[in-house]
Structure 1
Amino acid sequence: MPSRGADLIAATVTLRESTDLAHATIEQCRVEGTATDADLRGATLMDVELADVRIADLQARDANLRRVRISGGRIGTLNLTDARIDELELSGVRIDYLTLAGAKAVNVRIAECQITALDLPASTLSRMAFSATRCDELDPRGMRAQDVDLRGLDALSFLDVASLRGTTMTVRQVELLAPVFATSVGISLQD
């Protein structure tokens, strides 16, 4: 089993119970299996696919991700706090809690996912798009966005709509958020 600080190239990594790959370099690898927790803090992942993984807690704080694809499976917590991301694709994944707080991310695609809570506070996002994705709650507080397309995101609630600057939404999404927009600028709504 690979360990903390390992250098893995062109390998298949099978997760087991508790997997510690903090500060590892993982290139051209496929990651699969089930784990209670997986520690990738400070790790570098390049050309990596996580396929149908089932992980209760995936910690990738301060990680560097380049051309990473997570497809299928279920993740309880996916922590990408302060990560540096260039080309990340999440496809068909069910995630209870996804945080990119403080992350710097470019070229992110999230498709056909179910996310309970999506945290983006103080993140810097560029060229991010959603398609056929559901989210119960989106927290964009302090987010800096450029070319972030939310049209394919069906979100039940947004915290702090003022932080949605730099995003693209459908007219219908904005209509549904009208009361929240009004409240955020001090307008009292009454019937």
Structure 2
Amino acid sequence: MARSTERPQPPRVSPPDLPDDLDDAVGRRHGDHVGQRIPLSADLAHAQFEQCSLSGAAEGVDLTGATLLDVEIVDARTPVLSLKDATIRRLRISGGRIGTLDLSGAHVAELILEHARVDYLSLAAAKIQDSLITDCTLATVDLPAAKATRVRFERCSADEVDTRGLRADGLDLRGLDALAFLDVTALRGATLTARQVELLAPVFARAAGIDVQD
């Protein structure tokens, strides 16, 4: 079969595969959780979650170094949801109000982030592929030194996007209404609309050393 020539290539993303029935459980640091429904709590670092659902409110959630396979996080309400250095495959974060969603240094495949309000989304130095961010209000999106492959934004808004050192292949930004990109030279490999390019034209000109005057 011939490979698709569509550009940018859409993310190859699917929702987590969850069983019909989940057992209620309490999460724990370094825990091994399979097929469970777990309330979000402060210390879940380095735990493993497979086919699990997490939800609820917490003062802060530490999932640093965790492994998540076929997991959903529903209606999270927390000032910090840290997935720093996590290993993720098929994670859906749906709804909720999150102050900082920290995915810095994470290895991410098949992430769906939808219908959420996030003040600060950090993907610094993350490797993220086949991911969809849709219907989200984002204040700051942090992408320095990230590698983004087949990542798409749909119906999202952001005040500022830090793209310094970004490496992109199939990064679709057409659905991200952003007020500012900190480094437009790092947008190589990304897709924008003609309108977005028009709005960024003065910034592109300055980056190319062009003096624009009326």
**TM-score greater than 0.5 by the shorter chain:** yes
Give matches, 1:54-65, under 5 Å: 54-65=77-88
Q: TM-score, normalised by structure 2?
A: 0.87
Q: Determine if the alignment matches structure 1 residue 3 to structure 2 residue 28.
A: yes
Equivalent of 1:168 in 172, 185, 191: 191
Question: Paired residue for 1:27?
Answer: 50
Give matches, 1:29-178, under 5 Å: 29-178=52-201
Distance between the aligned counterparts of 2:102 and 2:129, measured in 1?
17
Q: What SS is found at the alignment partner of 2:205?
A: helix
Once the 2 structures are TM-superposed, how far is the Cα of residue 36 of structure 1 from its aligned partner?
1.2
5+ unaligned residues in a row in structure 1: which ranges? none
Distance between the aligned counterparts of 1:136 and 1:43, measured in 2?
29
Q: TM-score, normalised by structure 1?
A: 0.97
Runs of 4+ residues deviating >6 angstroms: none
Amino acid in structure 2 at the alignment position of 1:114: T
CA contact (8 A) 2:52 2:70 kept: yes
Amino acid in structure 1 at the alignment position of 2:37: T
Point out the structure with the larger strand share: 1
Distance between the aligned counterparts of 1:112 and 1:62, measured in 2?
25
Q: Deviations over 1:47-94 (max 9, x none)?
A: 011111101111111100100000111110011111000000000010
Identical counterparts, % of pairs: 52
